[in-house]
Chain A
Amino acid sequence: MSRIRRRSGWRRWVNPVNIGGLVIAVLTAAPLYWLLVSSFKSPNDVAATPPEAVPFHFTLDNFVQAFVTNDLLQYMLNSVIVAVSTTVLVLALSLLAGYALTGRNIKGGTGIMTALLMLSVFPAIAVLTPIYLIERSIGLLNSYPGLIIPYVAFNLPFAIWIMRNYLQGIPSTIEEASEIDGAGPWRTVVSVILPMSKPGLFTVGVFTFTAAWSEFLMALTFNSETSFRTIPVGIALFGTQFSVPYGAIFAASVSATIPIVILVLIFRRSIVSGLTSGAVKG
């Protein structure tokens, strides 16, 4: 593979690699730009032909409409409650289970881990009806636990995998040292394992939060009442009236996207390492 050679003047910048990079950046960013500018356009400009690439009449009406007349604030609150609760529970449970399943202490750990792998790729549609029927019979439909419980269960297998892999990197001599110092298993987890597993917890936390924030099928099925809708359901059902209020939809979309984008950019190292390290090491 030939490497880029140093060149002078414009030739230094105009080369296949930079052109390729520019193409990728434009193709990725263009739809995002369109989403962003459309959220600030007036209804007339949203429907303008030919489309306006640069909005001339900047307006915040869409945001007002989304937040005031379309219950977006309620949806966001619901999403925050569900996603934060899910994340906290998954972090706690996966830390303990991941630690226990490092294989040092449990027989049949490999079998359990394989079963978890299979579960984590199972299509959600396959379990939708039973969970719906169960939640209906015990009155959990249209409630926060009605979403939090399935979200915790479906995010746990993956979270346990991640935690287990981080914790396997911790030498067992550290645990043993802690035991010799007289710490019980609980104490060892809290004061030795917990501080060492921060990178794993970050990865699990970001993945779980984004998954819970984006999940649609279960949220649509279990929590369809307005007061319990999460953001994806709210945004999907925005356009069910007479016309599709794209301006308001995009204002809601931008509002729903900004928190997650900030989170993802802050924790991007955790995400990239979570996405890749194992596959790379093979």
Chain B
Amino acid sequence: MSTARQAQATSRALSRTIKQDRGNRVGRSLASKKSRSAWLFAGPALLVIAVVTVFPVLYSVVLSFAKVSINYDGFQIDGFTVGNYGALTQSSDWYHALAFTSLYTVITVVVELVLGMLSALVLERLGATRGWMLALLLIPWSLVTIVSAQLWKYIYDSTYGIATWGISLFTGSDPVILGEPVSSGAALMVADIWKTTPFVAIILLAGLVMIPEEQYEAAELDGAGAWKSFWRVVMPQLMPTFTIAVLFRVLQAFGVFDLPFVLTQGGPGTSTQTLAIMGYKVLFQDINIGPGAAIATSTAVIVGLGCLIFLRAFRNQARGERE
């Protein structure tokens, strides 16, 4: 359940912990004394997490290898197989969902970062109105995703949507925005970009305001123009913030469910079906537990691997320049 906001703050902690744990090893003699009460304090939370998240993760992996049959009182496992994964690799729906989810992730994250960066640069230079702008930007961020999805569904409506009306002014005919695979996918991305760019902008702005004024002045003295000093001064300084924002936006976009569930239901056909939507449909509409668990587990594995590769590749940036 990684909301972007959670993710972002988690991320800041990651880099900080790496540093702080080194310092904490000093006071160990005292530590052993207190260790028992510490476990008593941490115990309840860790127990809840273990029972409600770790155990289901393992259970899900088991189910993905199981032949499950459904009966009146529930379900039973009839044996184990790799057939669920075999079926996935044969399924064009799965490949399509994987491709669409990846495309969706890449496009939304890139656009959100570019627009977020531009917005942050503008916001940094705004004077007295910056506080108001921040407040305004927090509203889409805090909006329930389902609300945003219903709003955009209305905007795209083929008979009375304002977007449909606006496009018809130019083309002369009413487009069916959610009825075509390409425009439906684009519509989904626009809705995501509208809701999430403000969040990216706020994070990047916080990074921008921390850059010392002298560095701009130094760059200016060296004769660097705005473009050059952006790449030489701003981007290197912003890299830790930027990397973490990318990582968590990617993870969040890859698991996208709420928005397509309301806006397109994965349609038309299966053209905007993400992995999460497909997993949900297989699990709870077709009640096909084994294959559904295989979709869910493979999604989690892809996310996990992507996360590890990314962290390894950008470890230095994520930890910051000073390490």
Contact = CB atoms under 8 A, between A and B. Distances in A.
A241 interface: no
A129 to B, nearest CB: 5
Contacts of A105: 31, 34-35, 37-38
A278 interface: yes
Nearest to A165: B13
Given A104-B24, A271-B138, A94 B16 contact: no
B145 interface: yes
Contacts, number: 392
A272 B134 contact: yes
A156 B49 contact: yes
B56 A46 contact: no
Given A100-B42, A236-B146, A168 B20 contact: yes
B111 to A, nearest CB: 13
A96 B41 contact: yes
- The main secondary structure of chain A at its interface with chain B is helix
A246 interface: yes
Interface stretch (B4-12, B79-87, B179-187): B4-12
Contact of B8 (A2, A28, A276): A276
Contacts of A217: 257-258, 276, 280
B135 A126 contact: no
A96 B42 contact: yes
B280 A110 contact: no
B321 A282 contact: yes
B258 A232 contact: yes
B9 A131 contact: no
B194 interface: yes
B257 A253 contact: no
A121 B49 CA distance: 14
Contact of B56 (A51, A130, A136, A172): A130
A159 to B, nearest CB: 9
Interface stretch (A55-63, A64-72, A111-119): A111-119
A260 interface: yes
B63 A104 contact: no
Given A124-B255, A129-B293, A278-B13, A104 B34 contact: yes
Q: Which of A131, A215, A221, A278 has the most CB of B within 10 A?
A: A278
Interface residues of B, number: 134
A211 B51 contact: no
Given A20-B118, A120-B10, A276 B45 contact: no
Given A119-B53, A154-B1, A217-B280, A161 B145 contact: no
B203 to A, nearest CB: 6
Given A124-B1, A162-B9, A216-B146, A137 B74 contact: yes
Contacts of A32: 139-140
- The main secondary structure of chain B at its interface with chain A is helix
A27 B297 CA distance: 38
Given A21-B123, A158-B10, A272-B202, A278 B16 contact: yes
Interface stretch (B88-96, B102-110, B149-157): B149-157
A244 to B, nearest CB: 8
B203 A104 contact: no
A96 B226 contact: no
Given A213-B144, A279-B11, A121 B34 contact: no
Given A49-B159, A100-B39, 9 more contacts: A2-B226, A4-B125, A104-B24, A164-B13, A172-B27, A211-B3, A257-B143, A271-B138, A280-B241
Interface of B: 1-3, 5-17, 20-21, 24, 27, 30-31, 34-35, 37-42, 44-46, 48-49, 51-57, 59-60, 63, 74-75, 118-119, 122-123, 125-126, 129, 133-155, 157, 159-160, 162, 165, 194, 198-199, 201-203, 206-207, 210, 216, 219-220, 226, 229-230, 233-234, 240-241, 244-245, 248, 251, 254-255, 257-258, 261-262, 275-276, 279-280, 283-284, 289, 292-293, 295-297, 299-300, 303-304, 307, 318-323
25 contacts: A1-B226, A2-B220, A49-B159, A104-B27, A106-B42, A118-B307, A125-B255, A125-B279, A126-B60, A126-B299, A127-B53, A137-B74, A154-B53, A156-B49, A207-B5, A216-B146, A232-B144, A233-B146, A250-B154, A256-B144, A264-B142, A279-B8, A279-B11, A279-B206, A281-B12
Interface of A: 1-4, 17-18, 20-21, 24-25, 27-29, 31-32, 34-35, 38, 46-51, 93-94, 96-97, 99-107, 109-110, 112-113, 116-134, 136-137, 149-150, 152-158, 160-162, 164-165, 168, 172, 185-186, 189, 203, 207, 210-211, 213-218, 221, 231-233, 235-236, 238-239, 244, 246, 249-250, 253, 256-257, 260-261, 264-265, 268, 271-272, 274-282
